[in-house]
C-alpha cells in the first residue's frame, strides 16, 4: 500500500470489486481486513462505497503473527456464521503490508474450523505455498510456524475440549533449547537474554501485556554459551 497514491489505490480496488461483481452478480460479501493501527483502513473506505460489510482485525499481537484466542474465536464464529447463510455469501480476506503471515494463519484456522481441511501442518503449508516462501522469511525474522501450529491445534481440538475457546492459564517455562548457538561474541558463542511479556496472572481484568520476566544477571553479566556446547547445553530459566 505504501507505493500507491490514494487515487491509484482506490482505482485498483474498484477494478477488483468490478470483476467480482461481474463473476458473482448475485453474491453478498463480507470482507476481513488485517490492518496496522486503530484507524479505519483505506480498503475499508473503498469497500464501504459498495455496501460491503468490513470487519477489521489486527495484523499481529505484540509483533507476533498471532492473535489472542478471543479474537481468533470471534473471527471463526463470524466467518462460519456468514458462510452458513447460503452459497451466495462470499468471504474476502485482505491484509495490509506485512500482514501475510496472520492472513495465512487465520485462513488455515477457518478451514480447519469448518472441517474443509484436516491436519494443521498440511493446511498451513498449503496456504503458505500460495506465495513465495521467501516472503514469510522477509516479513518474519523469527519463524512463526511452530506457534501458529500450536494455535491451530487448539482449533482442531475444539470438539474434544471441555471448554472452547480454551481459558487463559498460567504456564511455567522450564527451559529453552537452543539448537544453534550463533557466534555473536567472536569467541564462538553468545550471551542470550530472554524477556517474557504477557498478561499479569494476578490481574485478570487487565488484558494489557506486561513485562513478566527477564534473564537474571550473575555478577552483573549474563551467562555465556559456546558453540562447542551445542549438543549438551540447555538454557534453563524459571518463570513465576
Phi and psi at residue 47, to the nearest 5°? -65, -30
Residue carrying the nine cell digits 506457534: 147
* pLDDT for the residue numbered 5: 64
Considering just the CA atoms, what is the radius of gyration of the chain in Å? 22
Catalytic residue among 14, 64, 95, 140: 95
To the query of whether residue 95 is one of the catalytic residues in this protein, the response is yes
pTM: 0.78
* pLDDT for the residue numbered 235: 46
Residue 196, H or E segment: strand 195-198
* pLDDT for the residue numbered 3: 56
Select from 200, 202, 193, 190 the least CA-distant residue to 228: 190
* pLDDT for the residue numbered 160: 74
Return per-residue pLDDT of the chain as tens, 240 residues. Answer: 455 666 688 888 999 999 999 999 999 999 999 998 877 788 998 999 998 999 999 998 878 889 988 899 999 999 999 999 999 999 999 998 889 999 999 999 999 999 999 999 999 999 999 998 888 888 887 789 999 999 999 999 886 767 777 777 777 778 877 777 788 877 888 888 888 887 777 777 777 778 888 888 877 888 888 876 544 444 444 433
Amino acid at each position: 500500500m505504501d507505493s500507491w497514491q490514494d487515487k491509484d489505490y482506490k482505482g485498483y480496488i474498484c477494478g477488483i470489486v468490478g470483476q467480482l461483481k461481474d463473476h458473482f452478480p448475485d453474491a453478498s460479501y463480507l470482507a476481513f481486513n488485517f490492518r496496522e493501527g486503530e484507524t479505519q483502513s483505506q480498503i475499508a473506505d473503498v469497500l464501504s462505497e459498495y455496501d460491503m460489510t468490513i470487519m477489521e482485525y489486527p495484523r499481529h499481537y505484540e509483533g507476533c503473527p498471532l492473535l489472542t484466542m478471543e479474537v481468533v474465536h470471534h473471527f471463526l464464529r463470524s466467518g462460519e456464521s456468514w458462510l452458513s447463510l447460503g452459497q451466495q455469501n462470499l468471504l474476502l480476506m485482505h491484509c495490509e503490508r506485512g500482514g501475510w503471515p496472520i492472513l495465512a494463519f487465520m485462513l488455515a484456522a477457518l478451514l480447519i474450523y469448518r472441517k474443509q481441511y484436516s491436519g494443521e501442518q498440511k493446511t498451513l503449508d498449503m496456504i503458505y505455498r500460495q506465495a513465495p516462501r521467501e516472503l514469510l522469511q522477509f516479513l518474519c525474522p523469527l519463524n512463526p510456524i511452530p506457534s501458529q501450529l500450536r494455535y491451530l491445534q487448539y482449533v482442531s481440538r475444539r470438539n474434544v475440549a471441555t471448554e472452547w475457546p480454551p481459558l487463559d492459564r498460567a504456564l511455567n517455562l522450564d527451559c529453552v533449547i537452543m539448537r544453534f548457538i550463533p557466534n555473536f561474541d567472536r569467541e564462538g558463542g553468545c550471551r542470550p537474554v530472554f524477556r517474557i511479556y504477557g498478561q499479569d496472572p494476578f490481574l485478570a481484568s487487565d488484558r494489557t501485556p506486561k513485562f513478566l520476566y527477564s534473564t537474571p544477571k550473575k555478577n552483573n553479566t549474563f551467562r555465556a554459551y559456546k558453540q562447542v556446547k551445542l549438543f549438551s547445553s540447555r538454557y534453563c530459566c524459571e518463570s513465576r
